[in-house]
Amino acid sequence: MNTLLPEQPLKRFPRNLHGRDFVVGDVHGHFELLQRLLDQVGFDPAADRLFAAGDLVDRGPYSPQVMDWLAKPWFASVRGNHEQLVIDVVLAGDDRDLHFRNGGSWLYKLTPVTRERIARRLQQLPLVIEVELGEGRRAGIVHAEAPVSPAFPDWDSGVAALAGELGETARRNAVGLAMWARTRIEKEDATPIAGLERLYVGHTAQSEVRPLGNTHYIDTGSGYADGHLSLVDMHSGKVETATAR
C-alpha cells in the first residue's frame, strides 16, 4: 500500500469553459461499457472531459486497453487499489497470487516488457483529482474514501497528508484511506467533507449511484456479474448506466 506512490498525489484541473465534465465509477476492464456510455451522452472529445475513480483494470475482459484510454488527452483517472496491485507486483516484486485472486490474470498473459510499461504508466496516476466548478467551487475525486481524519480533518489537510507534509505516519494513514478504506460507507457516515462542494468515490460497489453527505458513491459493480457501469454528468448530476451483454 505504501510503496511506489506518486511524488505529486494531487492533480488539479481548471474549470471547463468549453464543454461538459463526466466522472465514471470503477471500470474494471469493461472499456466497451465505457465507450457505450460516452456514445449515449454524445461525448465530444474536442470539448468534454472524462474523469475516473480508479480501478480501471482487473476482472473485466479489456484491461489491456487501459494504455489506450490513458493516452487520450481528455481522460484522467486517480489510482485505485487495483492499479496499486499491478504496480506493486510488477515494480516491487510483491506476491502475484493476491493479484490473481482479484482478477489480475490478464496481466500475466502479456510480455514482461508490456507489463512494465503498463505498471509505470499506472504509477503516474495521482491519488486525488480536483476539478474547478466555477465561483470558487470544486469537486474532488478519490478512489476509496476521503483522506480525512481527526489529524487532518478537511480536504486540504488530507491532501497535505498525502503529500507527506504532515509526516510519514499521517501520509501512510491518508494513503490507506484514499485507496482502501470503506469505513464511512459501512457506517453510513454522512458527515460532509469540508473544503469541497462534493466528492466522487468508487471502491465499494453500490446498486446505484448514491450520495452520502456530499460524497457520491459511483462504483456500481461493473466488475461483477450482477453489476453495471455508471457515468455521472458532474454539472447536471444525470447518471447513465451500461450493463455487459
Q: Is residue 180 part of a domain?
A: yes
Flag whether the pTM goes above 0.75: yes
Q: Is residue 118 part of a domain?
A: yes
Per-residue confidence band for 2, with pLDDT thresholds at 50, 70 and 90? very low
Length in residues, the chain: 245
Please report, for the domain that includes residue 100, its CATH number: 3.60.21.10
Packing angle of the helix pair 81-92, 168-180 (nearest 10 deg): 120
Q: Is residue 3 part of a domain?
A: no
Q: For residue range 149-207, list pLDDT tens digits in order.
A: 999 999 999 999 999 999 999 999 999 999 999 999 999 999 999 999 999 999 999 99
Range of the domain at 117: 10-242
Q: Is residue 136 part of a domain?
A: yes
CA distance 191 to 3: 30
CA distance 24 to 22: 7
Q: Is residue 199 part of a domain?
A: yes
Q: For residue range 26-52, list pLDDT tens digits in order.
A: 999 999 999 999 999 999 999 999 999
Q: Is residue 2 part of a domain?
A: no
Q: Copy the grid coordinates of residue 56.
A: 480501471
* Cβ 52 vs Cβ 27: under 8 Å: yes
Q: What is the number of structural domains in the chain?
A: 1
Q: Is residue 1 part of a domain?
A: no
Q: Is residue 196 part of a domain?
A: yes
